[in-house]
Structure 1
Amino acid sequence: MGLRENAAAAAGRTLAPEQDTEAPATDEYTPAPDPMAGYEPGEDDPEMVPVHIAWLRVRKEVRAIAKREQYNGGGTRFNFRGVDTVVNTFGPVTLKHGINIFPIGVEAEYRDTTTSKGSKMRECTVTVTWMVMGPKGDALPVPLQSQGEALDSADKGTAKAQSVALRVLLLTGGLTPTHDKDPDASHVERGETPIRPAATYLDEICNPHTSAGRLRQIHHELSTTRQLGALVTNEVGDEEPIGQMVVRIGKERAAGGAE
């Protein structure tokens, strides 16, 4: 008889037999309850289908996004699909089919750079990892990654780069065509190589890591294309013939290295 029984006997009480409260051991696995098991979609809710089906429906509805925006500056001209255009196209359709896209990891790299006009800029390159979730709460089995790059003179470079990465994700993950004319549909005979504008040499000329040999080569290229007299904005914001600028900077660096 144990202490518990002795104490009960001294008090004139009889103890009821103890019940075994431990659950019997079992090897069967009981899955966690499905939080969506009793969910009934509302009138405006998407159909409760797996994520890959919902994403396929988004692709079927978007179909294509044309390159309607145009960049025209600095001697360069091209058509493109902007971030706003892509997001405005995918946004309502993903909402309709219950697709959510979340950034779950961002890796960013930065470097300082200078424009052709000497303005200081900050360059940001990001790699974003995304999770694509469907209406039932399931996600694509493999996280998706995309990269974006942007320049900014203030503090918006990271946000811009992430926006570009989102555009890349939507266009590549959606296999979104442009319906533009196929490049092989026409044949153009190559003519002479276009002349490189003088202003595009400024970053190299102003870069302190540009070698003396490269400066001499730049001077030769400008001479060949008859652009030595082209006026450009130098490193201090003044207008100067680019040929004189190359010679001057070359002499300054040579003098600095001799000290």
Structure 2
Amino acid sequence: MGLRENAAAAAGRTLADEQHDYPADTETESAPLPDPMADYEPGDDDPEMVPVHLAWLRVRREVRAIAKREQYNAAGTRYNFRGVDTVVNTFGPVTLRHGISVFPVTVDAEYRDTTTSKGNKMRECTARVTWLIVGPSGDTITAQSQGEALDSADKGTAKAQSVALRVLLLFSGLTPTHDQDPDSTRIERGNQTPARSAQSYRDEILDKKTSQGRLQQIGYELGNLRMLNAKVQNETGEMETLDGLGRRIYTERAGGAQ
């Protein structure tokens, strides 16, 4: 006898009895799983039970467009954009109304240390997020998006995921801005020469009417133009770099303002 036969005999049973009591594994595996929606009865506020691609199409029809109404204006740079909060606040109520849920299922993040133009240490995060878009009937769409962010503390990953969510909603929603098409105008690129001379920057730095805020902006412009080390004749007739002149004049005026 084998082990199974000995065990059955010790219990006063036969192997045939055990086989009768326990159905074969193949019969158990072939049993259909219960349908979780079988007993579902829609309520008055529930979305229509349509496939996920149709529900997402209805979301797109309702959102239509999101304009670039937010503005970045700092350090001589100015542009309009659509922020994360604006996009989520627009899509959130509409997806809820049509029974759409969005879940991050995997996040692949890469990090590197970097510094700003002012020498501040930052942590850069690049996150590739895989999203699961679930429809009202439970069927799904899988999508991916990527976001980048800089942070000096521990918020880089969260910021990068937020950017990835904005990208997902705008791109998968094909959400226009209704702004002017960038291809409707054409600008010929000219020679990449500085728009101003080192002497003109020197004159503006030495001008007593130039504010401290403008002096900071000049430093940023000179850095972009790679003119920080350009030497000019200062107010005493000595040669001095534009960077050194600007910093000295800024410090002198800051002290005089106290």
Normalised by the length of structure 2, the TM-score is 0.67
Identity of aligned residues (%): 65
Aligned counterpart, 2:78: 77
Residue 134 of structure 1: how far off its partner (Å): 0.6
Aligned counterpart, 2:207: none
Contact 1:86 1:167 in 2 (8 A): yes
1:148–1:240 CA distance, 2 compared to 1 (3 A): farther
Aligned counterpart, 2:111: 110
1:94-121: CA deviations, max 9, x gaps?
0000000000001111111111111111
Q: How does 1:29-108 map to 2 (within 5 A)?
A: 30-108=31-109
Q: How does 1:116-195 map to 2 (within 5 A)?
A: 116-140=117-141, 143-193=142-192, 195=194
Give the Cα separation in 1 of the matches to 2:194 and 2:159: 32
Counterpart code for 2:111:
Y
Equivalent pairs, count: 201
Q: What RMSD in Å do the two structures reach over aligned CA positions?
A: 3.4
Counterpart code for 1:164:
V
1:123–1:97 CA distance, 2 compared to 1 (3 A): same
- Could you tell which deviates more after superposition, 36-45 or 179-188? 179-188
Give the Cα separation in 1 of the matches to 2:159 and 2:98: 27
Contact 1:121 1:153 in 2 (8 A): yes
Counterpart code for 1:229:
T
Unaligned runs of 5+ in 1: 8-17, 202-217, 233-237, 242-259
Unaligned runs of 5+ in 2: 1-8, 196-220, 234-239, 250-258
Q: How does 1:18-33 map to 2 (within 5 A)?
A: 30-33=31-34
Contact 1:116 1:200 in 2 (8 A): no
1:113–1:22 CA distance, 2 compared to 1 (3 A): closer
Q: Identify the match of residue 241 of structure 2 among 215, 225, 229.
A: 229
Contact 2:230 2:241 in 1 (8 A): no
Counterpart code for 1:68:
R
* Structure with the higher fraction of residues in helix conformation: 2
